[in-house]
């Protein structure tokens, strides 16, 4: 059975003066999840969203809150983000000294758990953890800023990750998500490699002067019809 193909719209790229309107257009257009890039200015050289934004958005949509913690020692803030309404918490393996402990902490709060890998991080670092997680997020750019160039070797990385997941018999449990310069071309390559969840930002839904509703519809149609 074909695994559901997921649009997770990156709210970091949205117009914050019209955030409620943007969320409505995304939902109406067929978006599945809202992606919150949480950056601390230490793990990545940028500072972005926090739990108050998630709490506010949670009240106006039925879409899942897909929270990507690009922060040092994320275990300190797990409860805070869960209480704000997170449905999914993804942490970077590079930011955790004791990654298994962090995963167990997230699972105790009854939300889905993901592990993110920077482009150069080896897949072997998560192989033993696969039975415990719901999502693997492959960064196809170096994290921190929107609008970067796609890193080509991440397509092969997704392909090898898919093989590992199948070998462990977890293909129906784990979503493979990719974040970074997601457009029609890169999405096609990543679908063929085995990805099924895509973080959509300035290269697809939030293009300059974009019609967000139309672009979301087009991405939905692209994912649903691509063979």
CATH topology assigned to domain 6-202: TIM Barrel (3.20.20)
**Strands 33-39 and 197-200, sheet pairing:** unpaired
Ramachandran area for residue 81 (φ above 0: left; ψ -120 to 50: alpha; else beta): alpha
Collapse the DSSP code of 218 into the 3-class scheme (helix H, G, I; strand E, B; otherwise coil) and give the result: helix
Going from N- to C-terminal start, the domains of the chain cover 6-202
How many CA atoms within 13 Å lie on the side-chain side of 44? Answer: 22
Active site residues: 37, 179
* Model confidence band, residue 143 (pLDDT cutoffs 50, 70, 90): confident
Instruction: Tell which residue, 141, 156, 224, has the closest CA to residue 190.
Output: 156
In degrees to the nearest 10, what's the CA dihedral of 173, 123, 72, 10? Answer: -60
Beta-strand ranges (E) seen in the chain are 6-10, 33-39, 64-70, 88-92, 112-117, 135-139, 175-179, 197-200
Q: What is the rounded distance in angstroms from the CA atom of residue 106 to the CA atom of residue 39?
A: 18
pLDDT digits (tens, 9 = 90+) for 10-48: 999 999 999 999 999 999 999 999 999 999 999 998 899
Collapse the DSSP code of 36 into the 3-class scheme (helix H, G, I; strand E, B; otherwise coil) and give the result: strand
| Residue 146 predicted with pLDDT over 80 | no
Mean of pLDDT over the chain: 95
Exposed/middle/buried for 217, CB within 10 Å: 0-12, 13-18, 19+?
A: middle
pLDDT digits (tens, 9 = 90+) for 95-132: 999 999 999 999 999 999 999 999 999 999 999 999 99
What's the confidence (pLDDT) of residue 1?
A: 57
What's the confidence (pLDDT) of residue 144?
A: 72
Q: What is the rounded distance in angstroms from the CA atom of residue 162 to the CA atom of residue 174?
A: 9
How many CA atoms within 13 Å lie on the side-chain side of 26? Answer: 32
Q: Would you give the DSSP letter of residue 2?
A: P
Q: What is the rounded distance in angstroms from the CA atom of residue 58 to the CA atom of residue 78?
A: 17
């Amino acid at each position: 059975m074909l695994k559901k193909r997921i649009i997770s719209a990156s709210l970091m790229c949205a117009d914050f003066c019209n955030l409620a309107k943007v969320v409505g257009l995304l939902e109406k257009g067929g978006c599945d999840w809202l992606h919150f890039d949480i950056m601390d200015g230490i793990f990545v050289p940028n500072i972005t969203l926090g739990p108050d934004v998630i709490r506010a958005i949670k009240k106006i949509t039925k879409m899942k809150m897909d929270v990507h913690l690009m922060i040092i020692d994320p275990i300190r803030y797990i409860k805070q983000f869960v209480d704000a309404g997170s449905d999914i918490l993804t942490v970077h393996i590079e930011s955790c000294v004791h990654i298994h402990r962090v995963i167990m902490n997230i699972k105790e709060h009854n939300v889905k758990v993901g592990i993110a890998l920077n482009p150069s991080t080896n897949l072997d670092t998560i192989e033993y953890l696969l039975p415990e997680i719901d999502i693997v997020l492959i960064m196809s750019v170096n994290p921190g800023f929107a609008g970067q160039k796609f890193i080509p070797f991440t397509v092969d990385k997704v392909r090898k990750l898919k093989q590992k997941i199948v070998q462990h018999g977890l293909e129906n449990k784990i979503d493979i998500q990719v974040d970074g310069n997601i457009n029609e071309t890169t999405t096609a390559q990543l679908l063929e490699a085995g990805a099924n969840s895509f973080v959509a930002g300035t290269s697809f839904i939030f293009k300059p002067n974009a019609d967000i509703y139309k672009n979301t519809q087009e991405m939905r149609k692209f994912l649903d019809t691509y063979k």
